[in-house]
Amino acid sequence: MDLDLRKLRYFVAVADLLHFGRAAEVLHIAQPVLSRQIRALEQDLGASLFTRDRHGVELTDAGRQLLADAGPLLASTDAVRRRVSAAAGGKRRLMVGFRAGVAVTPAARAFEERHPDVVVDVQRIEGDEQAAMLLDGRIDVGYVRLPIDESGLRVTPLYTEPRVAVLPAGHRFGGKAEVTEVDLAGEPLLWHGDPSTQPTRRPFRNAGYPVRGVDETLEHVGAGRGISFLARSASVFYSHPDVVYVPVPDLVPDQVCLAVAAPNTSRVVDDFVAAARSAAGITAECGNYEMWQLGGDAASGPA
């Protein structure tokens, strides 16, 4: 049984709104038509997706599972449509994802010199989505930061960069040239992702505020809710009036890699990877991974 993508889009609309009438309005279809399509999808899957009673509409366990799987599937379908449309227009398109603080331009310029017929698009990604976006085809290649679930991916190290402490303006260590983990002991830590992946050798108490990405981190730190650790490039790419950055030399360095879905054997993708490795100052023959220099010294990381 092939999954009907139109029915799946209808399901997502209802699941997001938990209201058949409002979902029908958004989809510009009649509510009875929407109800029939959802019932047909439930029959196709052999599972009830919603419970409906006088209190409203709720997702079943099967519905929650389908909603979790539907996003990447529909995004992958959209990515296919974009690539086909670009090819039909005479231009191939390479979608490159990148994490905050990573500069794509040097590699893109080198790549486009060899492939003037390919347009390089860029899309910022966050840590909790970098693997999924590669696997479902929303991006063709990604500049990722470890840790990442490498299942189904080809991951190539590019460079490491030191980390900095992100402190509220006016913090007692805000004016220091550098600090250590010991100096910061006892500070509440804001960390995005699994706390076990934090780049510290000693435990920090959880500040209790889940954050996603650099922007949220800076807002929480600026509000005095805790401290955080970011790659040094954040101090160059991102400024905030209520935040200061201080180097922490004894933190585990941040590792930037290139990642591609393992089944993706496109020569165009491989050529971009080669351009990115060259731009990062990597000598592949001897395996010497050097720091990418963008006007800084060899130990400074991306600037």
One domain, residues 233 and 173:
yes
Residue 292 inside a domain? The answer is yes
One domain, residues 170 and 155:
no
The full DSSP string for 267-288 is HHHHHHHHHHHHHTT-BTTTTB
Residue 115 inside a domain? The answer is yes
The residue out of 247, 265, 288 marking a domain boundary is: 247
Query: What 8-state DSSP symbol labels residue 195?
Result: G
Q: How confident is the model at residue 83 (pLDDT cuts 50, 70, 90)?
A: low
Q: How confident is the model at residue 200 (pLDDT cuts 50, 70, 90)?
A: confident
Q: Inform me whether the pLDDT recorded for 89 exceeds 70.
A: no
Determine the average pLDDT of the residues in 124-146: 91
Contacts of 70 (CB under 8 A, 6+ apart): 8, 11, 12, 15
| pLDDT score for 292 | 36
Q: Inform me whether the pLDDT recorded for 45 exceeds 90.
A: yes
Q: Which runs of E-coded beta strand occur in 99-242?
A: 118-124, 141-145, 153-161, 163-168, 228-231
Residue 221 inside a domain? The answer is yes
In tens, the pLDDT along 234-247 reads 999 999 999 999 99
Residue 75 inside a domain? The answer is no
| pLDDT score for 91 | 64
One domain, residues 241 and 169:
yes
One domain, residues 148 and 17:
no
Task: Report the domain count for the chain.
Answer: 3
Q: Inform me whether the pLDDT recorded for 210 exceeds 60.
A: yes
| pLDDT score for 195 | 64
* Amino acid symbol at 268: V
Determine the average pLDDT of the residues in 177-187: 94
The CATH number linked to 58 is 1.10.10.10
Pair of tokens at residue 31: 């509510």
| pLDDT score for 59 | 95
At 165 the three-state DSSP class reads strand
One domain, residues 234 and 259:
no
| pLDDT score for 196 | 67
| Residue 246 β-bridge partners | 165
Which residues span the domain enclosing 109? Answer: 91-159+255-303
One domain, residues 154 and 283:
yes
Contacts of 297 (CB under 8 A, 6+ apart): none
In tens, the pLDDT along 241-268 reads 999 999 999 999 999 999 999 888 889 9
* Cα distance between residue 155 and residue 134, in whole Å: 11
The CATH number linked to 213 is 3.40.190.10
What percent of the chain is modeled with pLDDT above 70?
A: 88
One domain, residues 59 and 29:
yes
The residue out of 36, 70, 104 marking a domain boundary is: 70
Higher pLDDT pick, 285 / 27: 27
Q: Is the dihedral of CA 287, 293, 299, 301 positive or negative?
A: negative
The residue out of 40, 70, 100 marking a domain boundary is: 70
As a whole number, the mean pLDDT across the chain is: 86
Residue 193 inside a domain? The answer is yes
Residue 86 inside a domain? The answer is no
One domain, residues 274 and 139:
yes
Determine the average pLDDT of the residues in 164-189: 94
Q: How many CB atoms lie within 10 A of CB 77?
A: 15
| pLDDT score for 11 | 95
Residue 100 inside a domain? The answer is yes
Residue 24 inside a domain? The answer is yes
Determine the average pLDDT of the residues in 151-165: 94
Determine the average pLDDT of the residues in 4-24: 93
One domain, residues 155 and 171:
no
The full DSSP string for 228-278 is EEEETTHHHH---TTEEEEE-TTSPPEEEEEEEETT---HHHHHHHHHHHH
| pLDDT score for 90 | 60
Q: How confident is the model at residue 136 (pLDDT cuts 50, 70, 90)?
A: confident
One domain, residues 155 and 186:
no
One domain, residues 220 and 174:
yes
One domain, residues 121 and 270:
yes
In tens, the pLDDT along 268-300 reads 999 999 999 999 874 333 333 333 333 333 333
| pLDDT score for 76 | 74
